[in-house]
Amino acid sequence: MARVLVMIPAGEVYDHDNVRWYQHSDIQRSINHYHNIGDAFVYESSLKLMNYDTVAELPIAGPSMEKIDRLREEYDYVILRGSNYINQDMNWRDTIPVLKRLGLPVIAFGVGAQAPVKGQLDLSEETKTVLKIMADSTTSIGVRGAYTAQVLNDIGIQNVRIVGCPTAFRRNNQHLRIKLPALDTVQKVGVTIRREVSPTYAQDIGRYLTVHRSLVKEMANRFDVTLMAQGEVEEKKMVFGTDDQKEEAIAALRANRWSSDWYFDETMEKLYRERMFYSDVVADYEKLVRSQNLVLGYRLHGNLMALANGVPSIYFTYDSRTVEFAETYKIPSHDVFGDQPFRLEDYWDQSLFDKYNRAWFETYGEMYRFLTENGVDHKMEETGKRVSEAVRKVA
């Protein structure tokens, strides 16, 4: 089977294709450090789509070229896990000389572009060069959605497939569908939270946070709610911190102007103390979402983990990244900056999720074709052959 190098991994691999954060059992080691565990979702999901023998990291920061030469002889190809690499500030370190020296195919699947609130996306020459090296090394490059495909087309890269994200297909089950239960039977709801956001990408921080707070409160008033964090420091401290660290986190939330003005009040504090969930192990999130009747909110990959396990999810879109994701999969979504208030009943409509089901099947087929045409030994092959028939049945 294949020997795989990983460019920009997000965690350590255990039991062949499972991922957790580095030294995850040493809680205090990273409790003051933000890392988005959603990146580990994508990394693990990428591994779960493939058949391979060994996996190792491709160093892109100051490696010796002698080591790169050895890796070229010992490995078959490189994967770049899907993430928001195509932005104005991306630092690729030594990626260009490394990839040129390595000379192996670079399988980039699910990469995405991030548009700023104002103006056009202005990519560096470095980013353009890296993308062109990857595109030239393979039959196709896999992208998150139509916006990213257009960004690549604008710099002359046309061999793209819109494949969404590996997390959506991590179960390798093309027959997976979302079927809504009766709303009055819903009891357990996960709310994916993202308190910190950049004004570069979210056009109105005050509205972003007040809508966020309203969602959390409404769900907590109606259901048995779990707040699902993905790496922000104060939220991690509420789960893993000592008593002193928890109080430090509360004090920091109260002291932050954005948080205290628009987000963190007495009700939110109580929910933070009693209902917060965080883990550095991807399997813990998957176990949690499987126990929920609904997962919704602000986290792209937290929501997608639920959908990947057949659990209904509703996206709250606030930037080009979340919009592109919702459009690729036709996921029911609420525009945070729109004119309409959020009403759960407006989204509890099987016809809306049937649109998602069809788009998911179609994108599954595109992922299958992407991996196949790029010579990746993968687990989607057997069911992927029947995708077209499945799409017709759902339609």
The yes-or-no verdict on residue 227 having pLDDT over 70 is: yes
Specify burial of residue 219 (Cβ count, 10 A radius: 0-12, 13-18, 19+).
buried
**Topology match between the domains 2-172+361-392 and 183-348:** yes
Sign of CA dihedral 243, 247, 253, 256: negative
Q: Which two tokens stand for residue 151?
A: 């960004």
Is pTM beyond 0.85? Reply is yes
How far is it, in rounded angstroms, from Cα 208 to Cα 311? 25
Nearest CA among 377, 285, 306 for reference residue 11: 285
What are the tens digits of pLDDT across the range 328-355?
999 999 999 999 999 999 999 999 999 9
Structure tokens at 92: 């690729």
Residue 326 has pLDDT above 60, yes or no: yes
- pLDDT, tens digit, 9 for 90 and up, residues 60-102: 999 999 999 999 999 999 999 999 999 999 999 999 999 999 9
Confidence of residue 395 (pLDDT cuts 50, 70, 90): very low
Domain 2-172+361-392 sits in CATH 1.10.1760: no
Amino acid at 213: R
Report the amino acid identity of residue 313.
S
Q: What is the average pLDDT across 304-318?
A: 98
Q: Looking at the predicted structure, is the pLDDT value of residue 119 above 90?
A: no
Domain locations in the chain as residue ranges: 2-172+361-392, 183-348
- Burial of 216: CB neighbours in 10 Å, binned 0-12, 13-18, 19+: buried
- Determine the Cα–Cα distance for residues 387 and 174; give it in Å rounded to an integer: 7
Mean pLDDT calculated for residue range 240-269? 98
Torsion angle, alpha carbons of 318, 322, 328, 334, to 10: -40
List, in order, residues 6 or more apart from 355 with CB less than 8 Å away.
330
Structure tokens at 311: 């659990």
Residue type, 13: V
What's the length of the chain?
Answer: 395
Q: 183-348, which class in CATH?
A: alpha beta
What secondary structure letter does DSSP report for 298? Answer: S
Contacts of 321 (CB under 8 A, 6+ apart): 84, 112, 114, 144, 201, 300
Instruction: Output the pLDDT for position 381.
Output: 60
With 50 as the cut, is the pLDDT of residue 391 above it?
no
Strands (E), the chain: 2-7, 12-14, 18-20, 52-58, 77-81, 106-109, 141-143, 160-162, 188-192, 224-228, 276-277, 294-297, 313-317, 333-335
Distance CA 327, CA 384 (A): 22
Residue whose token pair is 């991306």: 90
